[in-house]
Amino acid sequence: MNLVLRNKMELFLGICDSIEDSPIGHSSGLESGALKRVSLLQLAQYLMYLASSDGRVSYTEAHFIGELIPAFADWTPAQFKEWIIDQNVYSTEFEETPPLLLQLLVPVDNALYAADEESSDLPEMLMSIYRQIGQAFVECDGETNAEHNDYNTYLDMMAQFIIDNSERPGNTFYHNVEYGGQDISMTFKIGKPIISWSNSDDE
Q: Whole-angstrom Cα distance, residue 148 to residue 33?
A: 32
In degrees and rounded to multiples of 5, residue 183 shows phi and psi of -100, 110
Predicted confidence (pLDDT) at residue 84 exceeds the cutoff of 90: yes
Q: Work out the pLDDT band at 170, boundaries 50, 70, 90.
A: low
> For the chain, which residues make up each domain, given as ranges?
3-202
Report the share of the chain in percent with pLDDT over 90: 62
State which of 32-41, 75-84, 177-186, 194-203 shows the largest mean pLDDT. Answer: 75-84
Distances (CA, A) of 15 to 76, 108, 125, 132: 29, 11, 9, 16
* Cβ proximity of 163 and 125 under 8 Å: no
Going by C-alpha positions, the residue among 10, 137, 144 that lies closest to residue 64 is 137
Report the share of the chain in percent with pLDDT over 70: 83
For the stretch 123-165, pLDDT in tens is 999 999 999 999 999 999 887 788 999 999 999 999 999 999 9
pTM attached to this predicted model:
0.80
Predicted confidence (pLDDT) at residue 73 exceeds the cutoff of 50: yes
In degrees and rounded to multiples of 5, residue 190 shows phi and psi of -50, 125
**Residue 38 CB coordination number (10 Å):** 15
For position 67, what pLDDT does the model report?
A: 96
For position 100, what pLDDT does the model report?
A: 93
Going by C-alpha positions, the residue among 121, 61, 123 that lies closest to residue 98 is 123
Contacts of 58 (CB under 8 A, 6+ apart): 51, 77, 141
**pLDDT average, residue stretch 89-94:** 96
